[in-house]
Structure 1
Amino acid sequence: MHYKKNIIVTILFLLFQLADSTAKPFNHASSGRETIPFNKDWQFYFAYNFEKDIKKETVTLPHTWNAMEVLKGVPDYNRASAIYENKFNVLPGWTGKRLFLYFEGANSVATVFVNNKSVGTHKGGYTAFAIEITDAVKPGENSVTVQVSNAYRLDVLPLHGDFNIYGGIHRPVSLILTAKNCISPLDYGSSGVYLKQKQVSKASAEIEVLTKLSLSDDEALSLKTTLLDGNKKVVSTLTSNIGKDQNQELSQSIKLSNPHLWNGKADPYLYEVRVELLQNGQVIDQRSQPLGLRYFSVDPDKGFFLNGKYLDLYGAGRHEDVSGKGSALTDEDHDRDMELMKELGATAARLTHYPHSKHFYELCDKNGIVLWSEIPFVGPGGYTGTGYVKDAELESNIKQMLKELIRQNYNHPSVCFWGLFNELKLNWDDPQPFIKELNTLAKQEDPSRLTTLASNLGKNSYTDLTDLMGWNQYFGWYGGKFDEVGVWADETHAAVPGKSISISEYGAGGSPFKHTEGLIRPEAKGNFHPEEWQTAFHEKHWEELKKRPFLWGKFIWVLADFGSAIRTEGDANGINDKGLVTYDRKIKKDAFYFYKANWNPEPMVYIAERRNTNRSKALTSVKVFSNVANAELWVKGKRIGKKAKNGLNTMIWENVQLSKGNNDILVKTKYKGKELSDSCVWILQ
């Protein structure tokens, strides 16, 4: 009897699975909120309208249609309109539920249709958005169609920029199921929960928990908020009743004695705040958010302070762009970039030139990386147009993006700075009055953080618009000499007394496949970008920058090479090659190891110019980057001698004799009894 019953249950289960295979991917719903990935089996095709008999490609999100095309160095890459289609089943158990589609990013404008009915449009490719589809669905199979366009337009950021605007649903999508009463998913794509750090010190902390609610009836409800420590142990709990006349948000206060502070890389400690919406004592919705308690400030003469102690902020700008993938990155791609930042020894990062993936902010929280995060309000780069026009629709879009940036990332302790623009010019419509409006808006949205900008104009431009300043400078690449960066920093510091300044970009192109024996200055717009010049650029810049603590941030341009369709320089068209790592992340250039030796305390030794294999000069120098006190050089098995590191954690052996043919170069050292070594082969012609 039981045997027959089990057969029937198994058959019914298999039939259900078969029926569900054509309309993925959902199969159940619990009593609370569910967030269900919706990334597989999308049908993709190019069209300005919906077409029946057209060839479609099955794709998995994240996806972009430009990833391979831009590798050809095509300046007029396909900025067009395309369609994504999928299906899902609404199950009987979903009766009484509310349904939302949540997009982490669709570039640049997306209009969503459910069962051929328009349910919403979002303008902007780098911020999340949620659309309620409760009234658009029906029991059984439902269709979702998304029309996405990355075509150029004057009412959506970015208007220009020295990076590619990859078209597509380039970040994950999910379906959210909630009860009729829920914590709102519709507040500018945010979590609906805001952790406002009203007061934080080593002795105490006060946090206001503001929860946005979406209530469809007046049934008695309550909100329970729980603070958990890093081991998931309950620290405190408070419950508030929601009255029938309660508005759509509720504020609660948490007070804490002797808090464990989030202290950057040294101790990135995270609490968790869990907010639960209850009805008749049962949890009907829940949101959990990270809480990193910290306080920070910037002094115009002394730099950045975290929890009352000076912290030298240095790191690199980062683009979400990988060779062959464009901006359609997986969590594994983001994890790899974080590992590169950690190996580098960075304490900070500038997330350029747009809000980055949700996953990457979480990684920065967990690893203690201090962030500058910004909106895609950027100047023309190598284009001849403008990054701003005085237009009501564009200005509305920019304000929307700023609100989305702030609200979606409000609870990340890693974020300390909101960036308002990058390299805007003054030769078209004057953006300054509008930037002042943006600064006011940023302060209204989040008075706890500091605003900043990145300028490539003179030292007296844009200095009264934001709390802090940043300048993009390229001495020794786009004109000038390496050591002029120190003079520039001192003169700028003196020119704007009382203003906290940073260097928001500095860098030079470099190919690991192009080399010189001795330094030869390349043309920035030429094809020959030797690795040696890039390394020398960074050596001299860091020598100057490290001596100036008043620079509150020092940001290399850039972590990894990235796509820029307008560029026709370096090894390949369509690539900005200023990265410390190649576009595919496979080669760490010499400059990467220079910074690793200076920023990362983990013992290491690295022979520079190792890829400059074929040599024409018998007398050469050998340069080694190491943070160990001294090291010993061997050439073809012959001991050359020992050198101590200098102030830049570099050792140089001059006038080293090479022999015809292969020369085995070996460097050895010891640290706490452990041997470290590096080797390469140079061939004297």
Structure 2
Amino acid sequence: MPNRLRLHGALVMATCLVLLAAGLAAAAPSVLRASEAGVWLAAGPTRKWVGLDDGWRFHYGDVPGATGPEFDDSTWATVNVPHTWNGQDGQDGGNNYTRGAGVYRRHYAVPPGQAGRRQYLQFDGASLVTEVWINGTHVGRHEGGFARFRFDVTDALKPGADNVIAVRVDNSKNIDVAPLSGDFTVFGGLYRGVGLWVTDPLAIDPLDHAGPGVYLRTRSLTDASATVEVTTLVRNNGATPRKVAVRALIADAAGAPVAAATGDDVTVAAGGQARVVRSVEVPKPHRWNGKADPYLYKASAEVIDAASGRVTDVVTEPLGFRTVALDPANGLILNDKRHPLHGVNRHQDRPDKGWAVTAAEETTDFDLMDEMGVNALRTAHYQQSQTVYDLSDKRGYLVWTEIPLVDYITLGDAFAANVEQQIREMIRQNYNHPSVVFWGIGNEQQVDDGPVNALMDRLNTIVAEEDPTRWSAYAHAQVHINGGLDKHAAAAGYNRYYGWYYGSCEQLGPFLDNVRTTYPNRPVGLSEYGAGASVSQHDTGAVAPTAGGQWHPEEYQSSFHERYWTQISARPYLWGTFVWNMFDFAADMRAEGDSPGRNDKGLVTYDRKIRKDAFYFYKAVWTDTPFVHITSSRWTDRPAGRTTVKVYSTLPDVSLTINGVSAGQATTVNPGVFTWPVTLVAGENKVEVTGTRGGKNYTETVSWDAT
């Protein structure tokens, strides 16, 4: 770098750092501000985000000529995205929900000032196969329903004119696109946001599997310092070669600069890409430490035109310093301390809306998980929205995210290429999230043969190539453990439903111990376990119901989880356990419990309005929040006579009265669980429980009518 440019670069960097510290977002092109998209953008002439969520026309079914600009769509429905066409019929049972093609159209007037800029149309999620036309010109096709994707639409959009965007989305089963099946409804449509990135021709590449184009890797970490490798993919869409400087900057959680690095200029060929690596030293790094302290830095990469000194692009990503290890004997180790994962699985749908949920609704899900004490999340069975990963970063969750390779594969190159594409998209789009620890390569393959195992081997290799700092993971459901399926991933998870689909709850512990004994060097986790529950069905919970039947009493689910947790908590070698499921969800092929089309194993109802009793059990053993909860409170009409009252609480001593009379000393067989033998008299019975902490009483009262 010439001395003049070195001096200029140093002055620009110093100015940038001062402005970052001062928070003057409008003062210089390299100063960062928060955007509506939930990412950090540069002010001034660098990249801009144009939201395109509103004002779409929609028609279910193909219509001849509908992708052309002159087509009359005035009779079509007006919709905003996120949108789905089968939010209701995908949840009502019968397995005959709508799967096919829908067409969306939207007008967009490109401002004249965008002439000469690059424009990238982004879809945050569309199910399952998407094709896009602009002004009648086909600009791209994407196969896969869960990852973000982008198309370069610069040549198709006309600045200063009205443009027509047409999108065909098809959620039909496609033998070349995962998932081929699964115990969940495949909703269709543009079910996440849509927008346009506008960048300088010299910019950080938006087309690297729709990743950020900036990838962060911690090379060393001690209490004294951390070394961060910042890799930036620079794209030159100009007609001539460009010489550029690339600078990496690290700011703390408050936005104050803490470190920066630059290097020699790089020449990027016309139409080409350059991969630039900068190593940044951060003094006294503040660690991201799960829910105890989810501290986040901000890491920025700046692209500077060396000839003019102008910053042409900035991308900022979350950065969290942490070490994670898996110990076959002691489970997961976060920052050199044992960190048991108290996890849940989560599907992303809501009643009547399918997958077309809002960021506010996803935040509500995290609020409920926080209340219950969850510290780990498995995004079953697919990549979820960026809001989910952002909230996991900010709230300290450790995440197992996975591709939708569920149940079966299709033999042949096309299907293999699709799942390879989906895993690369998932990794690159989420590479910088400190919350992500596991890349899931599949779930519950039903055939354990050569082609399936070869594909699993290939996916495991891709994970190691793409990201050697994390683990591949697989959720195993076969009865035996001596096949091939649970041997490919670095972290083994087992989906086990003893006491629900088969056997008794007490078989879980011996099964886990058998895996541990048979494979002493294998990290072992429990990726799924659960039982169905209806909040309107009640009995004593003493007898296991039929899993596929219409009777799923809430009490049995509570008993199931108590018995499982007794075995889980006695096995410190487990690196993580994940309840199936945090929320009830749509599975249109099911006909069981009190609602057809529903998997009712959630600890919270589908509408998020009712916390089932088992929710409070985990709150009692996973949190220190003071509370008392009387179980079976919804069983208001019950037999008179002898029965057992059960209470969940985090308080050391709780007392119970029946119609104002003390029930005596509680029995506490399990931590957080208190029981009393009582007699209910005919008529109304007022049950009151009280616990005390710090001089404050916590009380809950219910009324039961006994006959």
TM-score by length of 1: 0.93
Letter of the 1:562 counterpart? F
Deviation string, structure 1 residues 581-608 (Cα, Å, up to 9, x no partner): 1111111100000000100111111001
Summarize the alignment of residues 496-511 of structure 1 with structure 2, pairs less than 5 Å apart: 496-511=519-534
Indicate the residue corresponding to 2:291 in structure 1.
265
Contact 1:472 1:506 in 2 (8 A): yes
* Match of residue 660 from structure 1: 682
Cα distance per residue 1:487-520 (max 9 Å; x no partner): 1111111111211111100000000100013523
Counterparts of 1:70-109 in structure 2, within 5 Å, are: 70-109=90-129
- Please tell me whether the aligned partners of residues 635 and 704 of structure 2 are also in contact (alpha carbons under 8 angstroms): yes
Q: Does 1:44 align with 2:72?
A: no
Mapped contact 1:423–1:455 kept (Cα < 8 A): yes
1:221 aligns with 2:247: no
1:286-305 mapped onto 2 (5 Å cutoff): 286-305=314-333
Moved more, 101-110 or 455-464: 455-464
State the partner residue of 2:4.
Answer: none
The alignment yields a C-alpha RMSD, in angstroms, of 1.5
**CA 1:251–1:518 in 2, change beyond 3 Å: closer, same or farther?**
closer
C-alpha distance in structure 1 between counterparts of 2:310 and 2:263, whole Å? 14
C-alpha change, 1:326 and 1:363, in structure 2 (3 Å) is same
Counterpart residue number, 1:159: 180
Q: Tell me, yes or no, if structure 1 residue 683 matches structure 2 residue 705.
A: yes
Larger displacement relative to structure 2 (304-313 or 423-432): 423-432
Could you tell me which amino acid in structure 2 is paired with residue 197 of structure 1? Answer: T
CA contact under 8 A between 1:388 and 1:429: conserved in structure 2?
no
- Deviations along 1:633-682, one digit per CA (max 9) or x if unpaired, are 1122223234375542111011x122222111111111111111111111
> How big is the shift at 1:429?
6.7
CA contact (8 A) 1:111 1:120 kept: yes
Residue 245 of structure 1 deviates from its aligned partner by 5.0
- For the 8 Å contact 1:629–1:645, the answer to whether it is kept is no
Unaligned runs of 5+ in 2: 1-42
Pair 1:326-2:354 in alignment: yes
Could you tell me which residue of structure 2 aligns to residue 147 of structure 1? 168
**Which stretch shows the higher mean deviation, 275-284 or 176-185?**
275-284
Instruction: Tell me if structure 2 keeps the 8 A contact 1:605–1:627.
Output: yes
Cα distance in structure 2, aligned partners of 1:297 and 1:41: 48
User: Is 1:283–2:289 an aligned residue pair?
Assistant: no
Write out aligned runs for 1:433-582 (5 A): 433-457=454-478, 458-461=480-483, 462-582=485-605
Residue 35 of structure 1: aligned partner: 49
Alignment partners' CA distance in 2, 1:240 and 1:331: 39
Shift of 1:30: 4.8
- Spell out the pairing of 1:95-244 with structure 2 (5 A cutoff): 95-138=115-158, 139-217=160-238, 218-244=241-267
SS at match of 2:540: coil
| Number of residue equivalences | 649
Counterpart-to-counterpart distance in 2, 1:419 and 1:621: 43
**Residue type of the alignment partner of 1:459:** I
Match for residue 613 of structure 1 among 616, 629, 636? 636
SS at structure 1 position matched to 2:90:
helix
- Pick from 307, 318, 323: which aligns with 2:335? 307
Partners of 1:111 and 1:586 in 2: how far apart? 37
Bigger CA drift: 167-176 or 215-224?
215-224
CA contact (8 A) 2:640 2:682 kept: no
1:672 aligned partner: 694
SS in 2 for 1:406: helix
Structure 2 Cα separation of the partners of residues 103 and 135 of structure 1: 18
Question: What TM-score do you get using the length of structure 2 for normalisation?
Answer: 0.90
Question: After superposition, what is the alpha-carbon deviation per residue over 1:525-580, rounded to whole angstroms, capped at 9, x for unaligned?
Answer: 00110001111000000010011011111110000011111111111111110000
Structure 1: how far apart are the matches of 2:561 and 2:357? Answer: 29
Q: Are 1:595 and 2:623 an aligned pair?
A: no
Q: Is the 8 A contact 2:247 2:278 kept in 1?
A: no
1:373 matched to 2:401: yes
Give identity over the alignment, percent.
38
Closer/same/farther in 2, CA of residues 208 and 427 from structure 1, 3 Å limit: closer
Amino acid at match of 1:174: G
Partner of 2:505, secondary structure, is: coil
More displaced, 108-117 or 643-652? 643-652
Distance in 2, Cα, partners of 1:486 & 1:427: 24
**CA positional deviation for 1:82:** 0.6
1:640 aligns with 2:687: no
Q: What 5-or-longer segments of structure 1 have no aligned partner? A: 1-28, 380-386
Q: Could you tell me how far apart the structure 2 residues matched to 1:488 and 1:47 are?
A: 49
Cα distance between partner residues in 2 of 1:68 and 1:587: 20
Q: Distance in 2 between matches of 1:66 and 1:429?
A: 37
Distance (whole Å) between structure 1 residues aligned to residue 380 and residue 221 of structure 2:
29
Matches within 5 A, 1:368-447: 368-379=396-407, 387-426=408-447, 430-447=451-468
CA distance in 1, matches of 2:496, 2:671: 21
The answer as to whether partners of 2:640 and 2:681 remain within 8 angstroms in 1 is no
Deviations 1:337-375 (A, max 9, x none): 111110110121111100010011000000000010100
